[in-house]
Amino acid sequence: MTVQSELMQRLNDSVADIINIRRHLHEHPEVSFQEKETARYIKDFYHQNGIETKNFGNGYGLVVDIDSGHPGKTLALRADFDALAIQEDNDLPFKSKNPGVMHACGHDGHTAYMMILAKNLFEMKNKLRGKIRIIHQPAEEVSPGGAKSMIESGVLEGVDNVIGVHVMTSMPTGSIGYHTEETQTGRANFTITFTGKGGHASMPHLSKDAIVAGSYFVTALQTVVSRNIDPFDTASVTIGSFDGAGSYNAIKESVVLKGDVRIMKESTRKVVRTRIEKIVNGICDMFDVKADIDYDDNYPVLYNDPKITEKAMSAVSHADIPEITEVFDCGPQDPSEDFAYFANDRPSCFFYVGCQTPDGANHPHHSPDFMMNEDCLLIAAKAMGTVTLNYLEK
């Protein structure tokens, strides 16, 4: 029996364990930077199986090192484990027990398949070459993200390349999606507070209306992309919150706006930020108000190294994994992802495993009814395992 066939058989025999872990994590979600019990659960699993763990970063990041004892490269495999501040609407026997918190993006599945894959790779380590570093990363969802501090604390020291996976409800179960070069958007968030002078609605001439200033800002913001970004480039600017609640007969002294920026080229990032700041300054002059800007340039554009990605996807395509029906270039993806920090530091590959439910219904990520087809978990384990073995052997 080849090492590949042995790992595939081991994973087939571990399906129930993967699903049980995923369902436990789904029942007990924790939001970014608060994943204390989740980290303890992961650590206990490894320790019960005689596997040591190490802590990295300023959160709950965990690492497992698998050393074959034979010469070769070092490959890091990353899985995230934080949940979101969302109230779950699904009627499931393993529905979230934490009010207002839900695994609405699939990170419970990422962690479950990775724990079982790591256990099996550890047990097979004498048959492998090189080293594998398993990275269980917290806080993917919230800036500054968990990847950044783990990298700063040395999690990639000695690592040659990094591979990551994300389940995708927009892709049929059985499909594997990938893209090379710029693959997921970079991100920024901002909060802007306009402050004028409040007053009585019957005497507007004695006030400086922050709502009017904020409204003009929202309108002017629409020109940032439409009149400053090359139509062949990709960018978006969104105002997600306009907090101007008050009385019907009072002019607001201040309003707070929160916005989101996505870009597909790092060169676009500075253009967008500069235009936003200039518009804010113009609004202040126009309406004689003041503005406070809190602008957070965070997740980079996720860049997939073409060589690493093409080799990884070739390995999956030629592995004859029966559960995989298609390996295809899915094109760039709109969301941002803090795996981009790993990809900025080492040549990396981040690919996607379809998890659409059998009925084809829409259960989008970050929604209260997010739902995955759990068949995707074995597929993720087999795909990542295949990539790992092929990498270490070649």
Model pLDDT for residues 260-278, shown as the tens digit of each residue: 999 999 999 999 999 999 9
Catalytic residue among 30, 80, 140, 209: 140
Q: Are residues 127 and 210 in the same domain?
A: no
* Average pLDDT score, the chain: 97
Digit-coded pLDDT (tens) for 190-238: 999 999 999 999 999 999 999 999 999 999 999 999 999 999 999 999 9
DSSP state at residue 284: H
pLDDT of residue 189: 97
Residues 252 and 192 both lie in one domain? yes
Indicate if 54 and 122 belong to the same structural domain. Answer: yes
Tens digits of residue pLDDT in 226-244: 999 999 999 999 999 999 9
Structural domain ending residue among the three candidates 257, 277, 297: 297
Examine the domain organization and report whether 261 and 317 are in the same domain.
Answer: no
- Cα separation, 227 vs 205, in Å, equals 34
201 and 60 in one domain? Answer: no
Contact (Cβ atoms closer than 8 angstroms) between residue 377 and residue 323: no
Per-residue pLDDT averaged across 95-105, rounded? 98
Given a cut of 90, is residue 394 above it in pLDDT?
Answer: no
- Backbone angles phi and psi of 167, in degrees to 5: -75, 150
Q: Tell me, what's the pLDDT at 11? A: 98
Indicate if 217 and 349 belong to the same structural domain: no
Euclidean distance between CA atoms 111 and 79, whole angstroms: 6
Same domain, 40 and 115: yes
Number of domains the chain is built from: 2
CATH number at residue 22: 3.40.630.10
21 pLDDT higher than 90: yes
The stretch 250-258 carries a mean pLDDT of 97
Residue 317 tokens read as: 């395509």
Q: What confidence score (pLDDT) does residue 98 get?
A: 98
Domain residue limits at 250: 186-297
Find the mean pLDDT for residues 136-148.
97
Q: Does 310 participate in catalysis according to the annotation?
A: no
Catalytic residue among 30, 35, 80, 82: 82
Check whether residue 246 and residue 380 sit in a common domain: no
The pTM assigned to this predicted structure is: 0.95
Check whether residue 180 and residue 315 sit in a common domain.
Answer: yes
Say whether both 164 and 44 belong to one domain: yes
Position 1 pLDDT exceeds 90: no
Contacts of 232 (CB under 8 A, 6+ apart): none
Active site residue 329: no
Nearest C-alpha neighbor of 134 from the set 72, 82, 61: 61
What's the CA gap between 140 and 218, in Å, rounded?
A: 29
Q: What is the arithmetic mean of pLDDT over 8-13?
A: 98
What mean pLDDT comes out for the span 280-293? 98
Same domain, 324 and 339: yes
